[in-house]
Every structure is written in C-alpha cells, then in structure tokens.
Amino acid sequence: MNLDDTQKKKVTAWINEGLKLFDIQKRIAAEFGLTVTYMEVRMLVDDLKLVPKDPTPPPAPPKPPEPVKPPADGAPGAGKLGLSPLTPGAAGAAGGANVSVTVDAVARPGTMVSGGVRFSDAQTATWYMDQMGRLGVAPAQQGYKPSAADVQAFQEALERELSKLGL
C-alpha cells in the first residue's frame, strides 16, 4: 500500500488520538478510498514506527470488607499462632494475678488486632478485636474459664499493650 506523506501524517494523528487498527482501517477506506486488510494496516503502522495506545482501564471497584470470623472455642493450637510479644515478659498484675498479653505481629484475618494471653494458672488463650471493637477470647482448653481477677488483669494488660500501639 502506497500512501503519500499527508496520508501518513493522518494515520499518525489517528494513532495519537488512540484509534484502534480496526478504526484506522475504516477511516482509510472512507477518507482515502482504499480498501485494505487489517494485516496491511498493521504493517503500515509498523512501517511508520508507531505504537497504538492501550486504552486506560477503568478503576477497579473498592473491595468489600471481609466478614469477621472469630476463632472457634478450643481450636487446636489456639494460643500458639506465631505470637510475638511487644516487650519481653509483658505481664500485668492486678489483685495478685500474673497475666501476660502478647500482640500478633500480623493480625489474624477478619480482625483489627489479635494476640495471645497466658493466665496466672498457666492456661493460654488467643484473643482478637474485630472491626467493630468487639473483644473475643478463645481458650486453648475447651470450657476453660479464667478467674475474675485474671480477666481484670487481662483487660488491663491488653489496654496497656494496645495503647503502646496507639490503638
């Protein structure tokens, strides 16, 4: 296909406008009176050292928040999920209860923050706080209930650890 310089400039302008090769094929037929194949248009664009523009993709819709899935009570391995204490021996004592609280380096899926707790009687549990600010505790031993002093000490120690994180 032989095009003169003005026709080549028009094809270049069409590419710069963002037209597709199919649209350029139609315009060549309509404006220049030439019937060309799609492959000939591709070769023309290649000969002119032009690169068709890719259309800008539409913005992705925002991802909906994942539902909160609290851990099941008595889940195997609860309290042993890669816990990393913020400070060594992060323990809080209230009323003689020795309770240590740790915060996970990465929160469990469906939670804002999560971690582990070791009560004064050496029982362990995992804890989590969901996006609504609700606190949940899943003991390692099914049916375990900490003493009232341990619960109070846990809440105080947890509040101290979360305040260190700015939460």
Domain residue ranges in the chain: 5-47, 83-164
* Residue 87: per-residue pLDDT: 36
Residue 88 burial (10 A CB sphere; 0-12, 13-18, 19+): exposed
* Residue 72: per-residue pLDDT: 53
Tell me which residue of 83, 98, 85, 3 sits closest to 44, measured CA to CA: 3
Whether 17 and 11 have beta carbons less than 8 Å apart is answered as no
Whether 41 and 28 have beta carbons less than 8 Å apart is answered as yes
Question: Rounded distance, CA 12 to CA 83, Å?
Answer: 61
The H-assigned helical ranges of 29-82 are 38-47
Question: Rounded distance, CA 165 to CA 157, Å?
Answer: 13
Question: Rounded distance, CA 148 to CA 125, Å?
Answer: 15
Question: Rounded distance, CA 34 to CA 138, Å?
Answer: 76
* Residue 93: per-residue pLDDT: 41
pLDDT in tens, the chain (167 residues): 678 888 889 888 988 888 888 888 898 889 888 888 988 888 888 888 877 776 666 777 776 666 555 555 444 444 433 333 433 334 444 444 588 898 888 888 888 899 999 988 888 999 998 888 888 888 988 888 888 888 888 888 888 888 887 77
